[in-house]
């Protein structure tokens, strides 16, 4: 990621953070709409899960300017997700739902540059996570 892409991701996330619960709900609604089979991996009450998602995103987004600082956290997260039943093919679906939710949350501020920055960030991290969890990186979409 370029420094400009990192800045775009961080700036755009700071605009989503104030509506974090709503943004997380939009994400999970979209995820369960496009991949209903994954809903069984989540609790019936999603309140805590939405908070965990946004807290994790905040850590990752804030750490993008020093990627090596967040790699241990993302490695551990990837390995935990295997235990929850996550598979490599879930990563592109989750990424698409995340980008969709960010686009909805940011509205007119979701520009092609912001979209490209988030796509790069997600591709970089999901590739690392699949490599850590399964031994093989998943090609970025």
In this structure, are residues 130 and 88 in contact, taking their beta carbons and an 8 Å threshold? yes
Task: Please state, in angstroms and rounded to a whole number, the distance separating the CA atoms of residues 135 and 133.
Answer: 6
Q: What percent of the residues of the chain are helix, what percent strand, and what percent coil, each to the nearest 5? A: 85, 0, 15
Q: Is the pLDDT of residue 139 over 60?
A: no
Looking at the chain, the whole-number percentage of residues with pLDDT higher than 70 is 96
Q: Which residues contact 67 (CB under 8 A, 6 or more apart)?
A: 1, 124
- Both tokens of 100, joined, read 């969709």
Entry pTM? 0.90
pLDDT, residue 140, reads 47
Look at residue 135 in the predicted model and tell me its pLDDT. 86
Q: What's the CATH code, domain 3-134?
A: 1.10.490.10
Mean pLDDT on 26-33: 97
60-86 burial string, b = 16+ CB within 10 Å, else e?
bbebbeebeebeeebeebbeebeeeeb
State pLDDT tens for residues 50-98: 999 999 999 999 999 999 999 999 999 999 999 999 999 999 999 999 9
């Amino acid at each position: 990621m370029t420094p400009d892409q990192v800045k775009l991701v961080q700036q755009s996330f700071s605009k989503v953070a104030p509506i974090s619960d709503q943004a997380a709900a939009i994400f999970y609604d979209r995820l369960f709409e496009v991949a209903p089979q994954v809903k069984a991996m989540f609790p019936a009450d999603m309140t805590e899960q939405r908070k965990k998602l946004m807290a994790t995103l905040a850590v990752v987004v804030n750490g993008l300017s020093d990627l090596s600082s967040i790699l241990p956290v993302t490695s551990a997260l990837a390995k935990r997700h295997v235990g929850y039943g996550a598979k490599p093919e879930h990563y592109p679906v989750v990424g698409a739902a995340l980008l969709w939710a960010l686009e909805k949350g940011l509205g007119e501020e979701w520009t092609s540059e912001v979209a490209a920055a988030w796509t790069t960030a997600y591709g970089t991290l999901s590739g690392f996570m699949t490599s850590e969890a399964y031994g093989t990186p998943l090609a970025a979409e």
